[in-house]
Structure 1
Amino acid sequence: MSNQKTPDFSNVKSDVSSTGEVQPDFGNVKSSVESTGEITGGGGGSGGGGEQTYTVAGGDSLSKIAKQFYGNANKWARIYDANRDQLNDPDKIFPGQVLRIPAQDSDPAA
């Protein structure tokens, strides 16, 4: 038999740490508002006439976009419904997506 001792690693501990949080870089993302058709009766971010489009920027949400266009973040579902062909989840929009923004007065009950 051998008298060799095996190494004892019972007191060895490991730890992983980081000096910061990894954040995505959206530095090259630009936002703009474009129209694919004629805007009638006002337009712009305040609502009014025809449908507009909006290119999603980093940090955007449907409620933030609704606030910009309708003055009410709770009208996000109007934008979601108008873009169901490209949105499966209202919480998953991405920079660069071009969303249709329905006219402010397209649904008087909303």
Structure 2
Amino acid sequence: MGTEKKADFSDVTATVSSTEQSAPKADFSDVTGTVGSTEQRVGEQQYTVQKGDSLSRIAKNLLGDANAWKQIFEANSDVLDDPDKIFPGQVLKIPPPQR
């Protein structure tokens, strides 16, 4: 064992340009999406109209003020044309109480 020469690697060099493997890139060209609204409605709730309800009765029960019927009517202007014409089963947006 005593006179054996060990391998000499002192003049060996190496270069690595990248270890990344070539993988196909994701193609999102046919992806679509829609957003109805970005508005956040904090505190808004929904209420289903019951037989005998009126906007002022709903406002009194849910908002503590019968005169708040106007806010309910305005919040539902997309589905209500007349504040006196609501019907059982209709789902209304109830805005948060105004302070």
Q: TM-score range by the shorter chain?
A: 0.5 to 0.7
1:102 and 2:84 correspond: no
Identity of aligned residues (%): 62
1:55 and 2:48 correspond: yes
1:70 and 2:63 correspond: yes
- How far does the alpha carbon of each residue in 1:50-94 deviate from its partner, in whole angstroms, 9 at most, with x for none? 100000000000000000111110110000000010000000000
Q: Superposed, which structure 2 residues align to 1:1-110 within 5 Å?
A: 50-105=43-98, 108=99
For 2:65 and 2:93, the matched residues in 1 are separated by: 17
TM-score, with structure 1 as normaliser: 0.51
Paired position in structure 1 for 2:10: none
Aligned residues: 58
TM-score, with structure 2 as normaliser: 0.56
Q: Which has the higher contact order (CA 8 A, sep 6+)?
A: 2
Give secondary structure in 2 for the equivalent of 1:104.
coil
The unaligned stretches of length 5 or more in structure 2 are 1-41
The unaligned stretches of length 5 or more in structure 1 are 1-48
For 2:63 and 2:88, the matched residues in 1 are separated by: 21
Q: Which runs of 4+ in 1 moved over 6 A?
A: none
Structure 1 residue 104: deviation in Å?
1.0
AA matched with 1:76? W
AA matched with 1:57? Q
What root-mean-square deviation, in Å, do the aligned CA atoms of Structure 1 and Structure 2 show? 1.1
